Amino acid sequence: MFENYLAGLRGGLAAGVVACLLLAYGVRSGRRDVLRPVRAGTGSGAALVLGLGWAFTFGPAELTPRARETLGGMAAVAVVALLTWAGLRARRPARHAGAVLAAAAFLSVVREGLDTALFVGASVRASLDGSHGPLLVVLLGLLTALVPVLLLYRGAVRVRSAQLLPRVGVLSVLVVAGVLAHGVFRLQEGDVLGGPRGTAFDVGTLVPPDSWYGAFLAGALGFRPDPTTVQVAVWLLYAVPVLILLVRRWRRGEQQFRNKDDRTASGSNSRAYDRRSSVDRHPRIPPCEPPDSGRALPR
Protein backbone atom coordinates (compact mmCIF):
# COMPACT_ATOMS: atom_id res chain seq x y z
CA MET A 1 0.00 0.00 0.00
CA PHE A 2 2.78 2.42 0.91
CA GLU A 3 4.54 1.52 -2.33
CA ASN A 4 1.58 2.93 -4.26
CA TYR A 5 1.83 6.17 -2.32
CA LEU A 6 5.54 6.46 -3.08
CA ALA A 7 4.88 5.77 -6.76
CA GLY A 8 2.36 8.61 -6.90
CA LEU A 9 4.67 10.96 -5.00
CA ARG A 10 7.69 10.13 -7.15
CA GLY A 11 5.83 10.37 -10.46
CA GLY A 12 4.07 13.60 -9.51
CA LEU A 13 7.33 15.27 -8.51
CA ALA A 14 9.21 14.05 -11.59
CA ALA A 15 6.66 15.64 -13.91
CA GLY A 16 5.64 18.60 -11.77
CA VAL A 17 9.09 20.02 -10.97
CA VAL A 18 10.10 20.25 -14.63
CA ALA A 19 6.75 21.78 -15.64
CA CYS A 20 7.04 24.23 -12.73
CA LEU A 21 10.50 25.38 -13.82
CA LEU A 22 9.30 25.81 -17.41
CA LEU A 23 6.34 27.94 -16.32
CA ALA A 24 8.53 30.00 -13.97
CA TYR A 25 10.98 30.59 -16.82
CA GLY A 26 8.18 31.90 -19.02
CA VAL A 27 6.92 34.28 -16.34
CA ARG A 28 10.28 35.62 -15.10
CA SER A 29 11.67 36.12 -18.61
CA GLY A 30 8.55 37.92 -19.83
CA ARG A 31 7.80 35.14 -22.34
CA ARG A 32 4.19 34.62 -21.35
CA ASP A 33 3.49 33.39 -24.85
CA VAL A 34 5.11 30.05 -23.92
CA LEU A 35 2.86 29.42 -20.91
CA ARG A 36 -0.03 28.03 -22.93
CA PRO A 37 2.17 25.60 -24.94
CA VAL A 38 3.79 24.36 -21.71
CA ARG A 39 0.40 23.73 -20.13
CA ALA A 40 -0.79 22.02 -23.30
CA GLY A 41 2.30 19.80 -23.38
CA THR A 42 1.87 18.85 -19.73
CA GLY A 43 -1.81 18.05 -20.16
CA SER A 44 -1.33 16.06 -23.35
CA GLY A 45 1.50 14.07 -21.75
CA ALA A 46 -0.70 13.22 -18.77
CA ALA A 47 -3.55 12.19 -21.07
CA LEU A 48 -1.22 9.98 -23.12
CA VAL A 49 0.30 8.12 -20.17
CA LEU A 50 -3.11 7.59 -18.58
CA GLY A 51 -4.41 6.20 -21.85
CA LEU A 52 -1.41 3.91 -22.25
CA GLY A 53 -1.65 2.80 -18.65
CA TRP A 54 -5.31 1.97 -19.12
CA ALA A 55 -4.58 0.09 -22.37
CA PHE A 56 -1.72 -1.94 -20.92
CA THR A 57 -3.71 -2.73 -17.77
CA PHE A 58 -7.04 -3.73 -19.31
CA GLY A 59 -6.08 -4.45 -22.92
CA PRO A 60 -4.42 -7.48 -24.49
CA ALA A 61 -1.10 -5.69 -25.05
CA GLU A 62 1.62 -5.80 -22.44
CA LEU A 63 4.54 -3.45 -21.87
CA THR A 64 7.67 -5.35 -20.94
CA PRO A 65 10.00 -3.94 -18.26
CA ARG A 66 12.78 -3.57 -20.82
CA ALA A 67 10.56 -1.54 -23.16
CA ARG A 68 9.36 0.61 -20.26
CA GLU A 69 12.91 1.39 -19.16
CA THR A 70 13.99 2.15 -22.73
CA LEU A 71 11.05 4.47 -23.34
CA GLY A 72 11.62 6.33 -20.07
CA GLY A 73 15.36 6.68 -20.68
CA MET A 74 14.96 8.01 -24.22
CA ALA A 75 12.31 10.49 -23.06
CA ALA A 76 14.63 11.71 -20.29
CA VAL A 77 17.54 12.29 -22.66
CA ALA A 78 15.25 14.16 -25.06
CA VAL A 79 13.96 16.36 -22.20
CA VAL A 80 17.52 17.29 -21.22
CA ALA A 81 18.42 18.16 -24.81
CA LEU A 82 15.37 20.43 -25.17
CA LEU A 83 15.87 22.13 -21.80
CA THR A 84 19.56 22.73 -22.49
CA TRP A 85 18.74 24.28 -25.85
CA ALA A 86 16.12 26.52 -24.23
CA GLY A 87 18.60 27.58 -21.53
CA LEU A 88 21.30 28.47 -24.04
CA ARG A 89 18.81 30.50 -26.08
CA ALA A 90 17.28 32.24 -23.07
CA ARG A 91 18.74 35.67 -23.94
CA ARG A 92 17.97 35.28 -27.64
CA PRO A 93 14.36 34.14 -27.82
CA ALA A 94 13.90 31.71 -30.68
CA ARG A 95 10.98 31.58 -33.01
CA HIS A 96 9.92 28.08 -32.03
CA ALA A 97 10.60 28.38 -28.29
CA GLY A 98 6.98 27.62 -27.40
CA ALA A 99 6.99 24.36 -29.35
CA VAL A 100 10.32 23.32 -27.84
CA LEU A 101 9.17 23.96 -24.27
CA ALA A 102 5.85 22.23 -24.95
CA ALA A 103 7.73 19.17 -26.18
CA ALA A 104 9.95 19.27 -23.08
CA ALA A 105 6.89 19.43 -20.81
CA PHE A 106 5.25 16.59 -22.73
CA LEU A 107 8.29 14.31 -22.50
CA SER A 108 8.90 15.17 -18.85
CA VAL A 109 5.46 13.75 -18.05
CA VAL A 110 5.94 10.71 -20.27
CA ARG A 111 9.35 9.72 -18.88
CA GLU A 112 8.05 8.84 -15.40
CA GLY A 113 4.31 9.14 -15.87
CA LEU A 114 3.96 5.78 -17.55
CA ASP A 115 5.12 3.94 -14.44
CA THR A 116 2.71 5.99 -12.35
CA ALA A 117 -0.09 5.30 -14.83
CA LEU A 118 0.54 1.57 -14.54
CA PHE A 119 0.23 1.86 -10.77
CA VAL A 120 -2.99 3.82 -11.24
CA GLY A 121 -4.32 1.17 -13.64
CA ALA A 122 -3.49 -1.63 -11.23
CA SER A 123 -5.16 0.35 -8.44
CA VAL A 124 -8.27 0.87 -10.56
CA ARG A 125 -8.42 -2.86 -11.27
CA ALA A 126 -8.15 -3.53 -7.55
CA SER A 127 -10.93 -1.02 -6.87
CA LEU A 128 -13.18 -2.82 -9.37
CA ASP A 129 -12.64 -5.95 -7.31
CA GLY A 130 -13.87 -4.08 -4.24
CA SER A 131 -10.59 -2.70 -2.83
CA HIS A 132 -10.49 1.10 -3.16
CA GLY A 133 -7.48 1.58 -0.90
CA PRO A 134 -4.68 1.32 -3.52
CA LEU A 135 -6.31 3.87 -5.82
CA LEU A 136 -6.87 6.35 -3.01
CA VAL A 137 -3.28 5.93 -1.85
CA VAL A 138 -1.86 6.63 -5.34
CA LEU A 139 -4.05 9.72 -5.67
CA LEU A 140 -2.89 10.85 -2.23
CA GLY A 141 0.72 10.56 -3.39
CA LEU A 142 -0.03 12.68 -6.46
CA LEU A 143 -1.75 15.32 -4.34
CA THR A 144 1.18 15.35 -1.92
CA ALA A 145 3.56 15.99 -4.81
CA LEU A 146 1.42 18.93 -5.89
CA VAL A 147 2.14 20.87 -2.67
CA PRO A 148 5.94 21.36 -3.04
CA VAL A 149 5.54 21.95 -6.78
CA LEU A 150 3.11 24.82 -6.17
CA LEU A 151 5.33 26.26 -3.44
CA LEU A 152 8.34 26.14 -5.75
CA TYR A 153 6.42 27.88 -8.51
CA ARG A 154 5.10 30.55 -6.16
CA GLY A 155 8.57 31.27 -4.82
CA ALA A 156 10.21 31.34 -8.24
CA VAL A 157 7.61 33.71 -9.69
CA ARG A 158 6.59 36.08 -6.90
CA VAL A 159 9.72 36.60 -4.82
CA ARG A 160 11.70 39.57 -6.15
CA SER A 161 14.93 38.95 -4.28
CA ALA A 162 18.12 39.40 -6.27
CA GLN A 163 19.61 36.33 -4.56
CA LEU A 164 16.72 34.07 -5.57
CA LEU A 165 17.44 33.88 -9.28
CA PRO A 166 20.91 32.29 -8.86
CA ARG A 167 19.44 29.73 -6.49
CA VAL A 168 16.64 28.88 -8.89
CA GLY A 169 19.22 28.56 -11.66
CA VAL A 170 21.34 26.16 -9.60
CA LEU A 171 18.24 24.14 -8.72
CA SER A 172 17.29 23.95 -12.39
CA VAL A 173 20.74 22.62 -13.31
CA LEU A 174 20.58 20.01 -10.55
CA VAL A 175 17.12 18.90 -11.68
CA VAL A 176 18.15 18.59 -15.33
CA ALA A 177 21.37 16.76 -14.42
CA GLY A 178 19.34 14.35 -12.30
CA VAL A 179 16.93 13.75 -15.18
CA LEU A 180 19.84 12.96 -17.49
CA ALA A 181 21.56 10.64 -15.02
CA HIS A 182 18.34 8.79 -14.29
CA GLY A 183 17.65 8.49 -18.00
CA VAL A 184 21.08 6.96 -18.56
CA PHE A 185 20.41 4.49 -15.75
CA ARG A 186 17.11 3.47 -17.33
CA LEU A 187 18.82 2.99 -20.68
CA GLN A 188 21.30 0.72 -18.94
CA GLU A 189 18.45 -1.19 -17.36
CA GLY A 190 16.87 -1.58 -20.80
CA ASP A 191 20.14 -2.96 -22.23
CA VAL A 192 20.32 -0.07 -24.70
CA LEU A 193 23.39 1.59 -23.18
CA GLY A 194 26.42 -0.39 -22.15
CA GLY A 195 29.17 0.55 -19.75
CA PRO A 196 30.12 -0.59 -16.28
CA ARG A 197 27.18 -1.19 -14.00
CA GLY A 198 29.12 -1.29 -10.80
CA THR A 199 27.82 0.81 -7.93
CA ALA A 200 29.76 4.04 -7.42
CA PHE A 201 28.57 4.38 -3.80
CA ASP A 202 25.70 3.21 -1.67
CA VAL A 203 23.91 5.40 0.87
CA GLY A 204 20.82 3.24 1.04
CA THR A 205 21.05 3.06 4.81
CA LEU A 206 20.88 6.86 5.05
CA VAL A 207 18.36 7.44 2.26
CA PRO A 208 16.26 4.28 1.84
CA PRO A 209 14.48 4.21 -1.54
CA ASP A 210 11.30 2.99 0.13
CA SER A 211 11.10 6.03 2.43
CA TRP A 212 9.13 9.18 1.75
CA TYR A 213 12.26 11.37 1.60
CA GLY A 214 13.98 8.86 -0.68
CA ALA A 215 11.01 9.00 -3.04
CA PHE A 216 10.99 12.80 -2.76
CA LEU A 217 14.65 13.09 -3.78
CA ALA A 218 14.18 10.54 -6.55
CA GLY A 219 11.22 12.41 -8.02
CA ALA A 220 12.56 15.95 -7.63
CA LEU A 221 16.26 15.45 -8.39
CA GLY A 222 16.49 11.98 -9.90
CA PHE A 223 18.55 10.84 -6.92
CA ARG A 224 19.42 7.18 -6.40
CA PRO A 225 21.08 5.94 -3.22
CA ASP A 226 23.13 3.41 -5.23
CA PRO A 227 24.00 5.00 -8.59
CA THR A 228 26.17 3.30 -11.16
CA THR A 229 29.57 4.62 -12.16
CA VAL A 230 28.26 5.73 -15.56
CA GLN A 231 25.35 7.51 -13.91
CA VAL A 232 27.64 9.51 -11.61
CA ALA A 233 30.02 10.33 -14.46
CA VAL A 234 27.18 11.60 -16.66
CA TRP A 235 25.82 13.72 -13.81
CA LEU A 236 29.22 15.33 -13.22
CA LEU A 237 29.96 15.85 -16.91
CA TYR A 238 26.70 17.74 -17.31
CA ALA A 239 26.29 19.58 -14.02
CA VAL A 240 29.82 20.93 -13.51
CA PRO A 241 30.31 22.66 -16.93
CA VAL A 242 26.78 24.06 -16.95
CA LEU A 243 27.16 25.45 -13.42
CA ILE A 244 30.48 27.07 -14.37
CA LEU A 245 28.89 28.60 -17.46
CA LEU A 246 25.96 29.82 -15.38
CA VAL A 247 28.19 31.47 -12.76
CA ARG A 248 30.27 33.19 -15.44
CA ARG A 249 27.13 34.53 -17.06
CA TRP A 250 25.87 35.88 -13.73
CA ARG A 251 29.18 37.61 -13.03
CA ARG A 252 29.24 39.11 -16.52
CA GLY A 253 25.70 40.40 -16.07
CA GLU A 254 26.49 41.88 -12.65
CA GLN A 255 29.60 43.59 -14.04
CA GLN A 256 27.62 45.10 -16.91
CA PHE A 257 24.99 46.31 -14.44
CA ARG A 258 27.66 47.93 -12.23
CA ASN A 259 29.29 49.61 -15.21
CA LYS A 260 25.94 51.00 -16.26
CA ASP A 261 25.33 52.37 -12.75
CA ASP A 262 28.81 53.94 -12.70
CA ARG A 263 28.21 55.62 -16.06
CA THR A 264 24.85 56.91 -14.88
CA ALA A 265 26.32 58.28 -11.64
CA SER A 266 29.26 59.92 -13.43
CA GLY A 267 26.91 61.50 -15.95
CA SER A 268 24.75 62.94 -13.18
CA ASN A 269 27.79 64.38 -11.38
CA SER A 270 29.09 65.88 -14.62
CA ARG A 271 25.78 67.61 -15.36
CA ALA A 272 25.62 68.97 -11.81
CA TYR A 273 29.19 70.29 -12.10
CA ASP A 274 28.37 71.99 -15.41
CA ARG A 275 25.39 73.72 -13.86
CA ARG A 276 27.50 74.99 -10.95
CA SER A 277 30.22 76.21 -13.32
CA SER A 278 27.67 78.04 -15.42
CA VAL A 279 26.36 79.83 -12.35
CA ASP A 280 29.88 80.84 -11.32
CA ARG A 281 30.76 82.19 -14.78
CA HIS A 282 27.54 84.13 -15.13
CA PRO A 283 26.62 85.55 -11.74
CA ARG A 284 23.09 86.69 -11.40
CA ILE A 285 22.74 90.50 -11.50
CA PRO A 286 20.08 91.82 -9.18
CA PRO A 287 17.37 93.82 -10.95
CA CYS A 288 17.46 97.59 -10.75
CA GLU A 289 15.00 99.20 -8.42
CA PRO A 290 12.37 101.32 -10.16
CA PRO A 291 12.47 105.03 -9.40
CA ASP A 292 10.24 106.27 -6.65
CA SER A 293 7.30 107.90 -8.36
CA GLY A 294 6.49 109.98 -5.27
CA ARG A 295 9.90 111.69 -5.11
CA ALA A 296 10.09 115.18 -6.59
CA LEU A 297 12.38 115.52 -9.55
CA PRO A 298 15.00 118.30 -9.38
CA ARG A 299 14.36 121.35 -11.50
* Statement: residue 220 has pLDDT above 60: yes
pLDDT band at 95 (very low <50, low <70, confident <90, very high): low
Please name every residue paired with 199 in a beta bridge, in sequence order, or none if there are none: 228
Cα–Cα distances in angstroms (integers) from residue 223 to residues 22, 35, 130, in the given order: 20, 28, 36
**pLDDT the model gives residue 235:** 95
* Residue 222 region by backbone torsions, left for phi larger than 0, else alpha for psi between -120 and 50, else beta: left
Over residues 262-291, the mean pLDDT reads: 55
- Kindly report, residue by residue over 137-187, the tens digit of the pLDDT: 888 988 999 999 998 888 877 766 555 566 777 888 899 999 999 999 999
Q: What mean pLDDT, rounded, does the chain reach?
A: 80
Task: Answer yes or no: pTM beyond 0.85.
Answer: no
CA 270, CA 126: separation in Å to the nearest integer?
Answer: 79
**pLDDT the model gives residue 237:** 95
- Is the model more confident about 212 or about 284? 212
